[in-house]
């Protein structure tokens, strides 16, 4: 609760389903009743609406079960509540015609009109939420001598953990042929003949045949595997993205960071890289305020696209520069090259003779720069011709000119020919 007269926090409301519940309720949407006495909170990860008495402090009166991952809630009046569940019924929703398999893209959101429960009905609804989430508070018991401790401080015989992550395959696709597990052999695609090491590990150590997380695609799965929780941003906006965007990370530490913080030794191979920034404070924002000093900002593919889109307009046009990918040998000699325009395609400009071809032409020049002496000379001529043409006023509309694609290209060709003829006489 925030006092907007002085922007101070008066108190916070804990909407978890119980004091022992871990982080991960993912409250992400709010609605207030018409009398302003009740707050409805969409707890995405709990698949529930928390009913909160607005007081000091606020108190959770109960929980209402919803579809998968509620992302919007609104009071409908007359004792009813609108709830939009972003993941609906998941990929088990009715299958589309002419489809033989299922994908996370098959899930559809659902909108529900829910009767607001009171009294005993709210208590029953709360118990249903507990059971749906398999929380200990629902009455589920833990077997004696269970190897995985439920609460902090409980004993465990486990001393060493080898954590191997392999993505994009279901249990049945790989281990469904193991008779020890609850699998479906008809769904096996990579059985023992293809994955003998996987089978050997499962049979020698542990078989997790009924281990589930609420992740149906890669970007979510990596967070559940490495952090034990995926943020509401990842659920609502990532949808298949799996890159270096910091918003994809949950608010808690990765498993190995948490282990190290508690004095447990860890060796991690993969899942999170180490990027070196030069200088240490180099960021996208620093590009705007930079005095001209060179910056090295390592970025994954999508972030590199954003970076080029940000930087190039500072110098005139997104179509003003090429992009070069270089693969090196161990002695750092170039092994393979790929050049392209830093911008993407522009289908809306097709056939209109208005697109700026400068980046594509410069991409060709960049490749020539890695060839023999003659190729390097031609590459130099092409680059100089591109820049000189712009300098002399032969520009497409994005650079404030009136030339078309063909006119600019013809001017570059004319200048390249002229340069090569002159250089041949020297």
Does the pLDDT at position 314 exceed 70? Answer: no
- 8 and 94 belong to one structural domain: yes
Residue 289 falls inside a structural domain: no
Q: pLDDT tens-digit profile of 146-189?
A: 787 766 677 888 888 888 887 778 899 999 999 999 999 999 99
Tokens 């071809």 belong to 357
- 351 and 236 belong to one structural domain: no
Are 215 and 223 in contact by the 8 Å Cβ rule? The answer is: yes
Residue 134 falls inside a structural domain: yes
Cα–Cα dist 166/313, whole Å: 41
Q: Which of the listed residues 138, 173, 199 is the one where a domain comes to its end?
A: 138
Residue 230 falls inside a structural domain: yes
- 178 and 222 belong to one structural domain: no
- 27 and 134 belong to one structural domain: yes
Structure tokens at 168: 């994009």
- 264 and 363 belong to one structural domain: no
DSSP result, 239-260: TT--SS-GGGS-SSPPHHHHHH
- 59 and 73 belong to one structural domain: yes
- 335 and 372 belong to one structural domain: yes
Residue 100 falls inside a structural domain: yes
- 205 and 223 belong to one structural domain: no
Give residue 176's Cα distance to chain centre. Answer: 29
Q: pLDDT tens-digit profile of 206-227?
A: 888 887 777 777 778 888 888 8
Residue 305: pLDDT band with limits 50, 70, 90 = low
Tokens 């389903």 belong to 17
Q: What is the pTM of this model?
A: 0.59
| Structural domain total, the chain | 4
- 115 and 134 belong to one structural domain: yes
Residue 304 falls inside a structural domain: no
Most confident among 141-145, 219-223, 367-371 (mean pLDDT): 367-371
- 256 and 184 belong to one structural domain: no
Are 11 and 57 in contact by the 8 Å Cβ rule? The answer is: yes
Residue 127 falls inside a structural domain: yes
Sign of the CA dihedral running 281, 287, 291, 293? positive
The CA radius of gyration of the chain, in Å to the nearest whole number, is 29
Residue 22: pLDDT band with limits 50, 70, 90 = confident
Residue 156 falls inside a structural domain: no
- 177 and 250 belong to one structural domain: no
Q: Residue 180: which domain range?
A: 163-212
Q: Which of the listed residues 197, 212, 227 is the one where a domain comes to its end?
A: 212
- 9 and 132 belong to one structural domain: yes
Residue 228 falls inside a structural domain: yes
């Amino acid at each position: 609760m925030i006092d907007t007269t002085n922007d101070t926090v008066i108190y916070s409301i804990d909407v978890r389903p119980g004091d022992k519940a871990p982080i991960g309720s993912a409250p992400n949407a709010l609605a207030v009743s018409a009398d302003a006495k009740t707050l409805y909170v969409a707890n995405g990860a709990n698949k529930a609406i928390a009913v909160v008495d607005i007081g000091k402090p606020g108190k959770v009166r109960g929980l209402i079960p919803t579809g998968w991952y509620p992302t919007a809630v609104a009071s409908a009046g007359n004792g009813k509540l609108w709830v939009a569940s972003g993941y609906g019924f998941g990929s088990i929703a009715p299958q589309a015609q002419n489809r033989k398999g299922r994908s996370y893209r098959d899930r559809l959101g659902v909108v529900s009109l829910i009767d607001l429960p009171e009294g005993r009905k709210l208590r029953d609804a709360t118990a249903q939420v507990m059971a749906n989430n398999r929380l200990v508070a629902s009455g589920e018991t833990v077997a004696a001598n269970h190897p995985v401790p439920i609460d902090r401080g409980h004993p465990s015989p486990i001393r060493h953990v080898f954590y191997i992550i392999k993505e994009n395959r279901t249990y049945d696709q790989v281990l469904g042929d193991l008779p020890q597990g609850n699998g479906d052999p008809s769904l096996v695609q990579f059985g023992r003949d293809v994955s003998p090491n996987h089978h050997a590990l499962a049979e020698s150590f542990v078989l997790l045949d009924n281990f589930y997380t609420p992740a149906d695609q890669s970007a979510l799965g990596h967070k559940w595997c490495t952090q034990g929780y995926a943020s509401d941003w990842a659920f609502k906006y990532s949808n298949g993205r799996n890159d270096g965007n910091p918003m994809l990370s949950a608010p808690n530490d990765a498993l190995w960071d948490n282990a190290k913080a508690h004095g447990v030794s860890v060796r991690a191979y993969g899942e999170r890289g180490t990027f070196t920034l030069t200088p240490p404070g180099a960021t996208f924002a620093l590009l705007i305020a930079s005095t001209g000093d060179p910056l090295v900002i390592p970025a994954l593919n999508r972030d590199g696209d954003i970076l080029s889109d940000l930087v190039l307009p500072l110098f005139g046009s997104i179509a003003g520069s090429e992009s070069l990918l270089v693969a090196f040998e161990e002695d750092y000699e170039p092994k393979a090259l790929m050049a392209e325009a830093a911008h993407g395609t522009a289908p809306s400009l097709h056939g209109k003779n208005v697109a700026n071809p400068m980046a594509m032409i410069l991409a060709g020049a960049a490749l020539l720069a890695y060839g023999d002496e003659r190729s390097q000379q031609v590459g130099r001529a092409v680059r100089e011709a591109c820049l000189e043409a712009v300098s002399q006023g032969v520009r497409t509309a994005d650079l404030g000119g009136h030339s078309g694609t063909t006119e600019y290209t013809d001017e570059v060709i004319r200048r390249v020919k002229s340069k090569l003829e002159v250089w041949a006489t020297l």
